[in-house]
Copies of this chain bind each other. A is one copy, B any other.
Amino acid sequence: MRSVLLFAAVALLSILSTAQLPSLMPQPANLKPGSGQLVINQFFTVAITGHKEPRLERTVQIFLADLRKQTGMLPLDVSVVTMPTASLTIHCIAGTKEVQELGEDESYRLEITSSGAKLDAQTTLGVIRGLQTFLQLVQTGSTGFVVPAVSIQDAPRFPWRGLMIDVSRHFMPVEVLKRNLDGMAAVKMNVLHWHLSDNQGFRVESKEFPRLYELGSDKLFYLQDEIRDVIAYARERGIRVVPEFDMPGHASAWFVGYPELASGPGPYQIERHWGIFDPAMDPTRESTYKFLDEFIGEMAKLFPDQFFHIGGDEVNGKEWDANPKIQEFKRAHSLRSNEDLQAYFNKHVQTIVAKHGKTMLGWDEILRPELPKDIVIQSWRGPESLAQAAKQGYRGLLSHGYYLDLMWSTQRHYLNEPISGDATTLTPEQQKLILGGEACMWAEFVSPENIDSRIWPRNAVIAERLWSPQNVTDVQSMYQRMEVIGHRLDWLGLTHNSGYAPMLRRIAGTDDISATQTLADALEPVKDYSREKLALEPPTSATPLDRLIDAARPESEIVRKFTSNVDDFLGGNRNPGVEAEIRRQLGVWHTNHAALQPLFGNSFLLQEVQAVSQNLSRISAAGLAALEYIDQGQPAPTDWLSQQLTLLADAQKPQAQLLLVVAPAIEKLIRAASLQK
């Protein structure tokens, strides 16, 4: 059955573009355009037939509120009607579980004609997904807001499609989480993985162990009522909330209030730097497990989800090595390595987690045969460990390749396929153990101000990877649709677009940000872990996040389009429009340094980008010169070429931890100029 659906999806992709269907993301599994369109006006009504539950009515209210935000219409009657002539009829067969479960049916069927829309689903969860598709279909039309006639049959490829948000390294207030939950719902993600504790902060109120947050959070933590509020908010949007309490490493913040948990002599401080640190829980003491039993017991009640994430990553073992009692314990229990010791710890913790009715989840380091087969492995180190886990019968999630903090291109995330590499050799049974994946937003270099711009819109394409059929991989279509969806997320209050100008105004030190934005638009933050490596002094939690690197987008849309134009032009498209656009853009960049000049003296935040601004101007001049040679049909002189390549090599070095990502395209122009004949 799945292969039939896949075929249909492929066949329809081409129809999609001709039929001017709105951008959908994730792409539905099966879509057939109809003819005509349904008009949406202020008399829009929704009827519910079939199974009813309060959650379903609430779902419709949220949908109507979103529809209002999208259209600016304010229908008075927001109540759900029963009339057979409703604009949208929702038929739902069964209720949902009290606590949303992994693998609950999310499928739906949406039929839209010019006379009405019909949404059928097994459960309220499917209705939630289908209504998001409906919202993406609503567009401004010639006669009003319209939804094109279409027939969609849709279901997710993977049952676990998550976003992890680290609130330890930088605390994120509830409003940040809520608006991101809205964004997740819009792209049909269904798990918020909440990284709640780490060396840099313990973020949850604990009644049992109040010193955890009193001494471990800098007073930046969530009250239990706030946690419940976030979970309820997520639940209403069909999103599970999985808490993570990282242990036995990444736990310095616990030890500030409870040093007896640790393996070293203490005292401990909240960690201010980033990286891997020595403090680790003492896995040899009974008191550690007694503490964890009580703590996990408390948290298991607070977080209703079936899964409980214990972290388990990056234990360097130094505190264990330095503690004679722990060494003695290892010998006495024939634990040959620190990995063995951690496995011993994990097994005990797993027993506690299970005792409190939960299923344990951890980063790939926890994978050891001692653990029961119901645990889930989250792979951050690579797809191999996912395949390895599946072969041993363990379920797994892919996060390697989905780290949003690494500033990768959207395309790179998009093409990161869970069933790839070793996983392709798995049996179909084993492949089913790969539950999906999670995008990860580690928070060393994000604040409430710019976190949305790191998550969005890139997270939408990861959501598509995990929802849509495996063969939905057209990168050009992805970029086109992401651009549209990215703007639609503005209605939900996400700040990835609206926050840009205010950040640039701060950097420019003036309200006129045109030149500053031109520069910022041509730059990207350095990739992977280079930001920390290139820092003049080690960054800490107190390091301001207000520099150009904090405003610049992970992937520059303008540079991507410029590069595409250059490729097009050099590929033989000598359409004067393309060349004119390349020339116009190079001209803007070329003169921008002069335009920025008066601002450098007034802003310490601009001063560090003087060199990169000058480089942008210089290499743009080189690009313009290259166009001249090309237009004249004369090969550029060799010494000119080598000079320009030197210039470009220099310009491509990171400056202020920023990359002049326009350089490669200009290099292509320069090389092409020298090859003219």
Residues of A within 8 A of B (CB): 41-42, 69-79, 139-144, 170, 218-219, 272, 447, 449, 483-484, 487, 490-491, 497-498, 501-503, 505-509, 511, 541-546, 550, 601-605, 607
Q: How far is the CB of A610 from chain B (nearest CB, A)?
A: 12
Judge whether A503 and B72 touch: CB under 8 Å. Answer: yes
Judge whether B511 and A603 touch: CB under 8 Å. Answer: no
CA distance A487 to B143 in the complex (A): 36
A contact patch SS = loop
Checking B73, B141, B544 against A73 with a beta-carbon cut-off of 8 angstroms, the contacting residue is: B544
Judge whether A447 and B140 touch: CB under 8 Å. Answer: no
Write out the residue numbers on chain B whose beta carbons fall within 8 Å of the beta carbon of A550. Answer: 72
CA distance A69 to B495 in the complex (A): 14
Judge whether B506 and A74 touch: CB under 8 Å. Answer: no
Highest count of chain B CB atoms <10 Å: which of A76, A218, A491: A76
Write out the residue numbers on chain B whose beta carbons fall within 8 Å of the beta carbon of A79. Answer: 219
Q: How far is the CB of A41 from chain B (nearest CB, A)?
A: 8
Write out the residue numbers on chain B whose beta carbons fall within 8 Å of the beta carbon of A144. Answer: 604
Write out the residue numbers on chain B whose beta carbons fall within 8 Å of the beta carbon of A42. Answer: 542-544
Residue of B nearest to A551 (CB): B72
CA distance A603 to B74 in the complex (A): 19
Write out the residue numbers on chain B whose beta carbons fall within 8 Å of the beta carbon of A143. Answer: 604
Write out the residue numbers on chain B whose beta carbons fall within 8 Å of the beta carbon of A509. Answer: 139-141
Highest count of chain B CB atoms <10 Å: which of A140, A272, A503, A602: A140
CA distance A449 to B72 in the complex (A): 8
Highest count of chain B CB atoms <10 Å: which of A219, A272, A501, A542: A542
Write out the residue numbers on chain B whose beta carbons fall within 8 Å of the beta carbon of A76. Answer: 218, 272, 541-542
Write out the residue numbers on chain B whose beta carbons fall within 8 Å of the beta carbon of A491. Answer: 502
Judge whether B140 and A74 touch: CB under 8 Å. Answer: no
Q: How far is the CB of A173 from chain B (nearest CB, A)?
A: 10
Highest count of chain B CB atoms <10 Å: which of A41, A497, A505: A505
Apart from A74-B545, A141-B509, A141-B604: 8 A-B pairs, beta carbons within 8 A: A41-B544, A42-B542, A72-B545, A74-B170, A74-B544, A76-B541, A140-B604, A141-B602
Q: How far is the CB of A548 from chain B (nearest CB, A)?
A: 11
Judge whether B604 and A142 touch: CB under 8 Å. Answer: yes
Q: How far is the CB of A527 from chain B (nearest CB, A)?
A: 22
Judge whether A70 and B603 touch: CB under 8 Å. Answer: no
Copies of this chain, tallied across the complex: 2
Write out the residue numbers on chain B whose beta carbons fall within 8 Å of the beta carbon of A142. Answer: 601-604, 607
CA distance A545 to B143 in the complex (A): 16
Q: How far is the CB of A198 from chain B (nearest CB, A)?
A: 15
Residue of B nearest to A508 (CB): B140
Residue of B nearest to A201 (CB): B76
Checking B72, B505, B546, B603 against A506 with a beta-carbon cut-off of 8 angstroms, the contacting residue is: B72
Checking B73, B447, B483, B490 against A502 with a beta-carbon cut-off of 8 angstroms, the contacting residue is: B490
CA distance A550 to B542 in the complex (A): 42
Write out the residue numbers on chain B whose beta carbons fall within 8 Å of the beta carbon of A75. Answer: 542
Judge whether A71 and B544 touch: CB under 8 Å. Answer: yes
CA distance A602 to B447 in the complex (A): 39
CA distance A544 to B602 in the complex (A): 45
Q: How far is the CB of A416 from chain B (nearest CB, A)?
A: 26
Judge whether A72 and B511 touch: CB under 8 Å. Answer: no
CA distance A511 to B607 in the complex (A): 33
Judge whether A483 and B498 touch: CB under 8 Å. Answer: no
CA distance A72 to B339 in the complex (A): 41
Q: List 25 A-B contacts (CB under 8 A).
A: A41-B544, A42-B543, A69-B449, A71-B546, A73-B544, A74-B170, A74-B541, A74-B544, A74-B545, A78-B219, A79-B219, A139-B509, A140-B506, A140-B508, A140-B603, A140-B604, A140-B605, A141-B509, A141-B604, A487-B502, A487-B511, A490-B502, A490-B505, A497-B501, A498-B498
Residue of B nearest to A503 (CB): B72
Q: How far is the CB of A453 from chain B (nearest CB, A)?
A: 13
CA distance A540 to B74 in the complex (A): 10
Highest count of chain B CB atoms <10 Å: which of A72, A503, A541, A604: A72
Residue of B nearest to A498 (CB): B498
Write out the residue numbers on chain B whose beta carbons fall within 8 Å of the beta carbon of A607. Answer: 142
Write out the residue numbers on chain B whose beta carbons fall within 8 Å of the beta carbon of A78. Answer: 218-219
Residue of B nearest to A607 (CB): B142
Judge whether B505 and A487 touch: CB under 8 Å. Answer: yes
Q: How far is the CB of A130 from chain B (nearest CB, A)?
A: 23
Residue of B nearest to A505 (CB): B487
Highest count of chain B CB atoms <10 Å: which of A79, A139, A550: A139
Write out the residue numbers on chain B whose beta carbons fall within 8 Å of the beta carbon of A487. Answer: 502, 505, 511
CA distance A170 to B68 in the complex (A): 13
Write out the residue numbers on chain B whose beta carbons fall within 8 Å of the beta carbon of A218. Answer: 76-78
CA distance A142 to B605 in the complex (A): 8
CA distance A170 to B74 in the complex (A): 9
Write out the residue numbers on chain B whose beta carbons fall within 8 Å of the beta carbon of A602. Answer: 140-142
CA distance A447 to B75 in the complex (A): 12
Q: How far is the CB of A207 from chain B (nearest CB, A)?
A: 23
Write out the residue numbers on chain B whose beta carbons fall within 8 Å of the beta carbon of A503. Answer: 72
Write out the residue numbers on chain B whose beta carbons fall within 8 Å of the beta carbon of A605. Answer: 140
CA distance A69 to B505 in the complex (A): 13
